[in-house]
Amino acid sequence: MSDTERTAAFTDTALPERYERLLGPALFAPWAEVLLDAVAVAPGARIVEVAAGTGVVTRAAARRAGQTGHVLATDISPAMIAFNAAHPPEPGAAPIRTAVAPATALPCADGEFDVALCQQGMPFFPDRPGAVRELHRVLRPGGVAGISVWTPGHEVVPFGPMNGALQDVGAPEPFPGGYDETSYVLSPEQVHDLLADAGFTRIDARETELLTRWPSVDALVDAVHGTPFGALLTALDGERQKQVRAVMAGRFSRWVRDDGTLAIPTYSVIARASR
Ligand SMILES: C[S@@+](CC[C@H](N)C(=O)[O-])C[C@H]1O[C@@H](n2cnc3c(N)ncnc32)[C@H](O)[C@@H]1O
């Protein structure tokens, strides 16, 4: 059943460490700050996060909420949540609890939180309206939701070039629709409508650009191992792996600067809305 397989794309226990190390610093951590700026997380905030993964947003939110706040990080993948939970507490940051839970059934009471966050979880949810209704349910009146998701109209970098290189050599999809670029993106209007239909008000959903910086082409190619597509590369024989890596490198070459580092513009909807 396709939706189930897609939502389980991050269950491999080797993935969380690679995801965080290879994709966190250059991509997901800088985007986390953009999302947290948009929702203006205040000291003392009670925060719930959906599809929290390894905790890149979780820990940034906890720093902003400070000692008097608290964060509940949830995700459907036990592997992601185990890795998230294993991070030591940071001095001065809010305490973090974790729970394995689908976005549509959070283990929380109605109105329990001031802030509800979801960074790049929407592409994997079988029931996006249900997930946004759940954010609404767990927020107190006046609480704020923050959602980010890649936007259409731009190649989703680095994932589009990586996945395309694997598709070109006939590697199978790691989950149904895995090569369908449209399945990873939502327009500002689509996010706005999901929020409005769930009952949110004061909705601001806009495309935002962020220039991401990568140390080298090799680092960017290696980052495929932080995604569910990495196993496809590993499954190829040595010569074929080299070929695919070379194709990926070629696709990234237009962003290489004179010093060998890369600067790549990326585009997400950043949405903020009130309960
Ligand atoms: C691209 S990762 C994003 C992780 C994290 N938010 C970040 O910004 O680094 C997508 C996450 O969505 C989770 N996920 C997929 N389907 C889900 C569902 N139905 N409910 C909750 N989490 C889900 C995956 O396990 C994975 O951790």
**Distance between CA 257 and CA 272 in Å, rounded?**
34
Domains and CATH numbers, the chain: 2-153+184-214+263-274 (3.40.50.150)
pLDDT in tens, the chain (275 residues): 346 788 888 999 999 999 999 999 999 999 999 999 999 999 999 999 999 999 999 999 999 999 999 999 999 999 999 999 999 999 999 999 999 999 999 999 999 999 999 999 999 999 999 999 999 999 999 999 999 999 999 999 999 999 999 998 888 888 888 999 999 999 999 999 999 999 999 999 999 999 999 999 999 999 999 999 999 899 999 999 999 999 999 999 999 999 999 999 999 999 999 99
Residue type, 91: P
DSSP code, position 94: P
The residue whose C-alpha atom lies closest to atom 4 belonging to ligand 1 is 53
Predicted local confidence at residue 98, as pLDDT: 98
Instruction: Kindly give the distance from the C-alpha atom of residue 76 to the centroid of ligand 1, in angstroms, as a whole number.
Output: 7
Predicted local confidence at residue 31, as pLDDT: 98
CB 99 within 8 A of CB 129: no
Which candidate, 203, 56, 227, places its Cα nearest to that of 135?
A: 203
Give strand ranges (E) for 60-214. Answer: 70-75, 96-100, 113-119, 139-150, 201-214
Instruction: Kindly give the distance from the C-alpha atom of residue 121 to the centroid of ligand 1, in angstroms, as a whole number.
Output: 4
Predicted local confidence at residue 274, as pLDDT: 98
Which candidate, 251, 262, 185, 265, places its Cα nearest to that of 219?
A: 262
The full 3-state SS of 151-219, as one line of letters, equals CCCCCCCCHHHHHHHHHHCCCCCCCCCCCCHHHHCCCHHHHHHHHHHCCCEEEEEEEEEEEEEECCHHH
Work out the widest C-alpha separation in the chain, in whole angstroms: 58
Predicted local confidence at residue 5, as pLDDT: 82
Predicted local confidence at residue 30, as pLDDT: 98
Residues with C-beta less than 6 Å from any ligand 1 atom: 7, 10, 28, 50-53, 56-57, 75-77, 80, 102-103, 119-121, 124-125
Instruction: Kindly give the distance from the C-alpha atom of residue 200 to the centroid of ligand 1, in angstroms, as a whole number.
Output: 22
Predicted local confidence at residue 3, as pLDDT: 60
Predicted local confidence at residue 207, as pLDDT: 98
244 SS3 class: helix
